[in-house]
Structure 1
Amino acid sequence: MNKQALVAAYIFIITVGGVTNKLAYQIKTEGLPDYGPHNFRKPWFMVLLMFVGMTMSYPVYWFMSAQQQKVAGPPKKQEPWRVYALVFVPAMLDLIGSVLSFTGLVYIGNSTALMLGSTIILFVAVNSYIFLGRRFNGIQMSGMFVVFLAIMIIGKAASLSAEETSSSSSAAEQGLGIFLCILARFVNSIQFVVEEKMLGDTSLEPLQVVGTEGIYGLIVTACVIMPIAASIPGDDVGHVYENTADSVLMLHNWTLDSILFLYLLGLWGLNALGMMVTKHLGGVFRAVSTNLQSLFVWLIDLGLFYGVGTGFGFPVGEAWKGQGSWLQAFGFVVLVSGTLTYAYGNSVQSAAISKLPSKAHSLKEALLDEFSPQTVNAHLSRVRAGSIDSFAFIMNEDDMEIEAL
């Protein structure tokens, strides 16, 4: 495996996915003939595409399984349908969190939304402490505190930017966008805990879970949510919440189609390449790459705003907003420090786990000697998935804390 090529491919593809999130909203084109050119601000349609991208995990899983069978022999026994039915619950949580995030992105800058995504560290930690009985070392606690400070700084920077510039979103709308994005991460954190609690003792591979969630989400969004959104009052064309017919007609614009295709490509890369990244480069690099994504997306958006300008006939990208942007840059530096500290704490904890005595001298056997199989399987599953939301935790056994960790 060429690690340099893997690094370049992974960072490139997640950056493309990050840029196109907001860029799609900025594209102005015609939909329904009575309303003229207007922006493609369609949160539910973006959620639909997200679930399409998640279902694309299954072809990746089938390919990887076929390759493994050549080496390891026949595939393992399939899980019963009840296990796949359980995936419906986290899929619906994913749906709620995603639409909150896409709606919040309407009102705030792309870079701000990506940086606020780091609140997932705090929410997952709290939920795992409460519901899964997990504990953290001092390094992890320090990292979480620094991340919290960074989020406060970035939030203040966003409100300051709204006051200093003639942004398309008012200070109140910026505040709403920040709230929705943070709330989305809270819902996602519940989703991850539910996945671990309900699916931790199954043999479903991470890509199977992602693909199954995508199928459920796609069906519910297309068959239930979008028809409702097209019939209730709202601010979209036709005075409805989101006009699906208008969304489909807007897809006749090749620029918009290209951006949405790149968005799907970025989502596929997050799911497919993420496994290889964690396997060959480790979890610390995942923390670094997440911050690099935020930085590169911000730089590209600045380049689009000042380089392309109104070349499409309308502004794209993100402007530099004086003092607010300087404060955001400072918050980003603090955020990087916090996430790297937290990732280092995870590494220290994982190293301590690996030293636990085990007859089989394997990490999983060592963990199984000390902790419940449900939690262990969930943890190892998330690490194999290469998820940016995977963390190393230690449980207390009979309420006795393991001081060495």
Structure 2
Amino acid sequence: MTFQTLDDLEDGQRVLVRLDLNSPVEDGDVQDNRRFDRHAETIRELVDRDFEVAVMAHQGRPGRDDFVSLEQHADILADHVDSDVEFVADTFGPDAIHEIAGLEAGDVLVLENTRMCDEELPEEDPEVKAQTEFVQTLKGEFDAYVNDAYSAAHRSHASLVGFPLVMDAYAGRVMETEYEANTAIAEKEFEGNVTMVVGGTKATDVIDVMTHLDEKVDDFLLGGIAGELFLRAAGYPVGYDIDDADLYDHQWEKNSEKIESMLDAHRDQITLAVDLAYEDDDGSRAEQSVDDIDEKTVSYLDVGSETVMEYSPVIRDSEAVFVKGALGMFEDERFSVGTAGVLEAIADTDCFSVVGGGDTSRAIEMYGMSEDEFGHVSIAGGAYIRALTGAELVGVEVLKR
């Protein structure tokens, strides 16, 4: 491990803890999600070890509908921690300082949304952030800083990168486990086959991941919009926009040369879908072999059943499987066959596995699987992509200092 963790932190201190509780907001109501459950593990440990805990987190961005107070977050976190969690509508002003001073062993206090502070958001060097009034005011109120927000670690914001330069800094349990799992594909040695399931909507992400990991991964199994673009590069009449959609053509123009080059150089490592699913005239799922497509006239919303049958044995013969992105529009049960099918194959396999990539991991719960059936289910989106492409995460790098 390249940074200090909670194992290195003496019990009973006053700590400033950065979580990532950013959540969907529907009609003004903050929605509970897996991030609360994960971060609650860190908070429960700190409470059990008699720490005095103040929590920082962000929600939304200024100007957006989901830019709201963290008052509801405090209540949701309390349910997961199974302990009282207080809230103060201030981040580093007099009210916040007063409440922090009153903390006792086992207390948890949530400070107001960090993005309501002018000095939080601009992407600036850690050295600049460390000198902000925000950081300089709070640093003297605590014995240590704990960053548990791996999923936000690619952001150079004050609450994430400023404090480690002016305080003793440690990784929380989420930061620790996410870092270990998400860097495993680059840092671990596997004796057997390594497989990566890659899909989603962003071709650039897929290409960057595949390019960086081409020597570490034996088999890439493709789906989603990115997979359809690779089929286009292989000569199939798919991967085009129809009905005024804006999903494929602009990504093709931007990435076609890279996709074709990747396919030429690594064709033996890349497995493409053999059939695709769409909604027929009566609203039910229909499937079509890619060899039988003469022209794209429907929107393809999932890989087909034959594709899942081809992908599953590859997964079951792997020592390690990594998932980045969904293979179809799994939120609609009709088009969940691809995503749920590969996840079920992974769950049935005794392999090292990491599932991540935005909302993909939600399919595990939606389709009756348990996170315990997988090695690690990441709650990170952008940070997960950066880890897979070998990019440094500034929030991790400052902890390493």
* Same-fold call, TM cutoff 0.5: no
TM class by shorter-chain length? under 0.3
Q: Point out the structure with the larger strand share.
A: 2
Larger Rg: 2
Q: Point out the structure with the larger helix share.
A: 1
TM score, norm. by length of structure 1? 0.24
Larger relative contact order (Cα-Cα within 8 Å, sequence gap ≥ 6): 1
TM score, norm. by length of structure 2? 0.24
